[in-house]
């Protein structure tokens, strides 16, 4: 691999003309960019991955200290055949830990108390989470004939129309918070939950649609498995992490990419030069310039605003940059086991907006996976902020711990002071697929179609989960490969 020109010249770095192989720059070393770079490299491209931070992983980052394991972002992820294939290809299978079976139990707060969320349809009829009129409303769902008032309906409007306001407040709102840290009044049903929108469109009812899809054979993976990866050893979806935390995954991808990864190297400028792309990157030192055949921008959408782009790109990127990423805070709190009355026997607890609390939701991390807290102690990962309370996320650590403690004492019977506190503030958390999101998708697609060789990828395009991002990285690598293959 050639060296980076520190004086602003273009050198034989990531430069396709030097060995006949096409060159690709991937900008952003989150899970999306890493997967794209990994696959493109496996397929023979000369890849350079530029990452602004001092390590790869983006939202996926783990800190191990004082016997605790604290996740800055995701604490677990759901596998798919594609994700399993990636884990096997990377050889990290033995490091995977499956969530404890109790993870099926999820609690929701109602009137200040934890209530198990009814996972089976029949449990919906007996749960104290919903009042008898709300349960009746759920049973009547197949009879609802009121059509959607708009082709781009909000999640809240859809749920109120089909299932009633109480289901929105106590069943849907907390789960929307759990996935997007989002506000159902603002999120678009067809963009945030496209499958649910399809069920209504195809079956005229959510319950009829769900029953029909249960009767059908399991859906195919949805994404073609890269031929470079082995057939996955695990066929069923698993909720997993790694013995050493989530960072194992980006670290394994980073190690496989070797010296093609340039950390502390934010891309600041991008422009076209004939059929190729010129990037300027670098931190405080002299800029690094490179010329490549294709570029994958795998940064968060808002990053485009700070990048120097030519006018013909800016006209489209403005719509993409506006995607909202509300602030969030993650606080991993440790307690002595005997100072928490609740058995912490589940995945965690979600807090509906109507309960008006600082806590958005919490994972019972040390119940889910081994090694998250020292012997005799427990770790609870608390989330604050998101679309319905971004201001709360911006508070300092002491104030947040004080507020959370007050709530955890009532909700979980926490009696002592925390033995461990780890706070991460995310000024820009998770992208919100709000009503009108088609404008973002159209602008991103236009940037690509009007500028061959330029690709946009990331959690703001086709889903926010880690699994969605693996699929996104795979898909964009496929598109880049096809583009490069068509070149003379
Ligand atoms: C607090 C939190 C909790 C979450 N919990 C879960 C969960 O439990 N399960 C789950 O499945 N998902 C969860 N998610 C979602 C999931 O983690 C993310 O959607 C996913 O990791 C995003 O990956 P990405 O590669 O698209 O973006 P990112 O991870 O944001 O990566 C983008 C990268 O681009 C880099 N970058 C920015 N600007 C530049 C530049 N100019 N030049 C070069 N590089 C640049 C950034 O430093 C970053 O590394 C959570 C997210 C958050 C924030």
Residue 353 per-residue DSSP state? G
Instruction: Select from 439, 432, 397, 394 the least CA-distant residue to 418.
Output: 397
**Residue 249 sits in the same domain as residue 304:** yes
> What is the Cβ-side half-sphere exposure of residue 442, based on CA atoms within 13 angstroms?
5
For ligand 1, what atom is nearest to the CA of residue 56?
A: 49
Distance 457 CA to ligand 1 centre (A): 11
**Residue 246 sits in the same domain as residue 290:** yes
Q: Do 374 and 70 meet the contact criterion of CB atoms below 8 Å apart?
A: no
**Residue 180 sits in the same domain as residue 193:** yes
429-465 pLDDT tens trace: 999 999 999 999 999 999 999 999 999 999 999 999 9
Asked, for residue 246, whether it belongs to a domain, the answer is yes
Distance 195 CA to ligand 1 centre (A): 23
What is the band of 1 on the pLDDT scale with cuts at 50, 70, 90?
very low
414-431 pLDDT tens trace: 999 999 999 999 999 999
Q: Mean pLDDT in the chain?
A: 92
- Measure CA 106 to chain center: 20
Which one of 187, 204, 221 terminates a domain?
204
Distance 27 CA to ligand 1 centre (A): 13
318-346: buried (b, 16+ CB within 10 Å) or exposed (e) per residue?
Answer: ebbbebbbbbbbbbbbbbbeeebebebeb
In this prediction, residue 232 carries a pLDDT of 84
228-285 pLDDT tens trace: 888 888 878 999 999 999 999 999 999 999 999 999 999 999 999 999 999 999 877 7
Give me the CATH number covering residue 466.
Answer: 3.50.50.60
Distance 459 CA to ligand 1 centre (A): 7
Give me the CATH number covering residue 161.
Answer: 1.10.3110.10
What is the band of 123 on the pLDDT scale with cuts at 50, 70, 90?
confident
Distance 340 CA to ligand 1 centre (A): 32
> What's the total number of domains in the chain?
3
Asked, for residue 287, whether it belongs to a domain, the answer is yes
- Of residues 256 and 286, more confidence is placed in 256
**Residue 305 sits in the same domain as residue 392:** no
Residue 267 per-residue DSSP state? E
Q: Is pLDDT at 337 greater than 70 in this prediction?
A: yes
Q: Is pLDDT at 345 greater than 70 in this prediction?
A: yes
Ligand 1 pocket mutation pick from 26, 30, 301, 369 by most atoms within 8 angstroms of CB:
30
Instruction: Select from 333, 298, 345, 302 the least CA-distant residue to 454.
Output: 298
In this prediction, residue 240 carries a pLDDT of 98
Angstrom distances, CA of residue 481 to CA of 31, 286, 484, 485: 19, 32, 5, 6
What is the band of 216 on the pLDDT scale with cuts at 50, 70, 90?
low
Distance 458 CA to ligand 1 centre (A): 8
**Residue 270 sits in the same domain as residue 308:** yes
In this prediction, residue 119 carries a pLDDT of 84
Please state, in angstroms and rounded to a whole number, the distance separating the CA atoms of residues 16 and 45. Answer: 9
**Residue 336 sits in the same domain as residue 310:** no
The strand pair at 288-292 and 276-281 is best described as antiparallel
Q: Is pLDDT at 11 greater than 80 in this prediction?
A: no
Asked, for residue 273, whether it belongs to a domain, the answer is yes
Please state, in angstroms and rounded to a whole number, the distance separating the CA atoms of residues 99 and 367. Answer: 8
**Residue 331 sits in the same domain as residue 420:** yes
In this prediction, residue 88 carries a pLDDT of 95
Please state, in angstroms and rounded to a whole number, the distance separating the CA atoms of residues 192 and 307. Answer: 27
Q: Which amino acids bring their CB within 6 angstroms of ligand 1? A: 27-33, 50-53, 58-60, 73-77, 266-267, 298-300, 303, 328, 330, 426, 429-430, 458-459, 464-466, 469
What is the band of 12 on the pLDDT scale with cuts at 50, 70, 90?
very low
Q: Average the pLDDT over 151-156 and give the result.
A: 97
155-170: buried (b, 16+ CB within 10 Å) or exposed (e) per residue?
Answer: bbbbbbbbbbebbbbb
**Residue 413 sits in the same domain as residue 403:** yes
Distance 429 CA to ligand 1 centre (A): 8
Ligand 1 pocket mutation pick from 37, 58, 262, 444 by most atoms within 8 angstroms of CB:
58
**Residue 319 sits in the same domain as residue 446:** yes
In this prediction, residue 18 carries a pLDDT of 57
Distance 60 CA to ligand 1 centre (A): 6
**123 lies in which domain range?**
100-129+326-427
Instruction: Select from 256, 254, 258, 262 the least CA-distant residue to 4.
Output: 262
Asked, for residue 391, whether it belongs to a domain, the answer is yes
191-219: buried (b, 16+ CB within 10 Å) or exposed (e) per residue?
Answer: bbbeebbebbeebebbbebeeebeeeeee
Q: Do 114 and 151 meet the contact criterion of CB atoms below 8 Å apart?
A: no
**Residue 311 sits in the same domain as residue 445:** yes
In the chain, the percentage of residues whose pLDDT exceeds 90 is 84
3-state percent helix, strand, coil for the chain, nearest multiple of 5? 40, 20, 40
Angle at 167 between CA 164 and CA 173, to 5 degrees: 120
Residue 94's CB: how many other CB atoms inside 10 A?
Answer: 8
Q: Is pLDDT at 89 greater than 90 in this prediction?
A: yes
- What three-state secondary structure class fits 373? coil
The strand pairing partners of 422, in sequence order, are: 332
Asked, for residue 278, whether it belongs to a domain, the answer is yes
**Residue 283 sits in the same domain as residue 318:** yes
Angle at 240 between CA 297 and CA 90, to 5 degrees: 55
Q: Is pLDDT at 217 greater than 80 in this prediction?
A: no
Asked, for residue 154, whether it belongs to a domain, the answer is yes
Ligand 1 pocket mutation pick from 32, 71, 73, 433 by most atoms within 8 angstroms of CB:
73
Please state, in angstroms and rounded to a whole number, the distance separating the CA atoms of residues 191 and 441. Answer: 10
Asked, for residue 75, whether it belongs to a domain, the answer is no
Distance 254 CA to ligand 1 centre (A): 15
Give me the CATH number covering residue 402.
Answer: 3.90.660.20
**CA nearest ligand 1 atom 13, residue:** 74
**Residue 351 sits in the same domain as residue 421:** yes
For ligand 1, what atom is nearest to the CA of residue 75?
A: 8
Ligand 1 pocket mutation pick from 299, 324, 363, 386 by most atoms within 8 angstroms of CB:
299
What is the band of 488 on the pLDDT scale with cuts at 50, 70, 90?
low
Asked, for residue 231, whether it belongs to a domain, the answer is no
């Amino acid at each position: 691999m050639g060296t980076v020109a520190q004086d602003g010249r273009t050198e034989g770095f990531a430069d396709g003309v030097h060995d006949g192989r096409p060159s690709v720059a991937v900008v952003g070393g989150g899970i999306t960019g890493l997967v794209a770079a990994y696959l493109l490299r496996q397929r023979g491209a000369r890849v350079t991955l530029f990452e602004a931070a001092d390590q790869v992983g983006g939202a996926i980052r783990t800190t191990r200290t004082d016997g605790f394991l604290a996740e800055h972002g995701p604490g677990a992820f759901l596998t798919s055949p594609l994700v399993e294939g990636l884990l096997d290809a990377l050889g990290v299978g033995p490091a995977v830990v499956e969530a404890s079976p109790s993870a099926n139990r999820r609690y929701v707060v109602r009137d200040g108390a934890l209530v198990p969320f009814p996972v089976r349809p029949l449990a919906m009829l007996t749960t104290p989470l919903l009042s008898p009129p709300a349960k009746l409303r759920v049973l009547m769902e197949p009879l609802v004939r009121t059509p959607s008032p708009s082709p781009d309906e909000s999640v809240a409007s859809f749920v109120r129309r089909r299932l009633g306001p109480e289901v929105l407040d106590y069943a849907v709102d907390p789960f929307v918070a759990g996935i997007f840290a989002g506000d159902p009044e603002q999120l678009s049903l067809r963009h945030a939950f496209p499958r649910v929108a399809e069920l209504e469109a195809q079956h005229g009812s959510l319950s009829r649609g769900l029953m029909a899809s249960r009767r059908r054979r399991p859906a195919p993976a949805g994404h073609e498995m890269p031929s470079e990866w082995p057939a996955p050893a695990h066929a069923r979806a698993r909720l997993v992490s790694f013995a050493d935390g989530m960072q194992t995954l980006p670290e394994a991808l980073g190690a496989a990419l070797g010296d093609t990864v340039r950390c502390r190297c934010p891309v600041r400028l991008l422009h076209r030069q004939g059929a190729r792309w010129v990037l300027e990157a670098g931190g405080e030192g002299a800029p690094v310039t490179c010329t490549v055949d294709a570029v994958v921008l795998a940064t968060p959408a808002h990053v485009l605003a700070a990048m120097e782009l030519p006018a013909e790109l800016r006209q489209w990127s403005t719509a993409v940059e506006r995607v909202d990423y509300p602030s969030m805070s993650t606080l991993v709190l440790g307690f002595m086991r005997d100072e928490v009355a609740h058995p912490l026997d589940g995945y965690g607890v979600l807090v509906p907006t109507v309960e008006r609390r600082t806590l958005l939701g919490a994972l019972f991390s040390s119940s889910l996976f081994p090694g998250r807290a020292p012997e005799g102690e427990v770790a609870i990962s608390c989330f604050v902020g998101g679309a319905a309370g971004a201001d709360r996320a911006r508070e300092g650590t002491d104030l947040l711990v004080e507020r959370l403690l007050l709530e955890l004492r009532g909700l979980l019977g926490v009696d002592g002071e925390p033995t461990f506190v780890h706070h991460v503030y995310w000024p820009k958390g998770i992208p919100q697929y709000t009503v009108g999101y088609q404008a973002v998708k159209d602008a991103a697609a236009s940037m690509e179609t009007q500028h061959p060789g330029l690709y946009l990828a990331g959690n703001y395009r086709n889903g926010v989960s880690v699994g969605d991002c693996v699929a996104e990285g795979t898909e964009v690598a496929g598109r880049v490969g096809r583009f490069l293959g068509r070149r003379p």
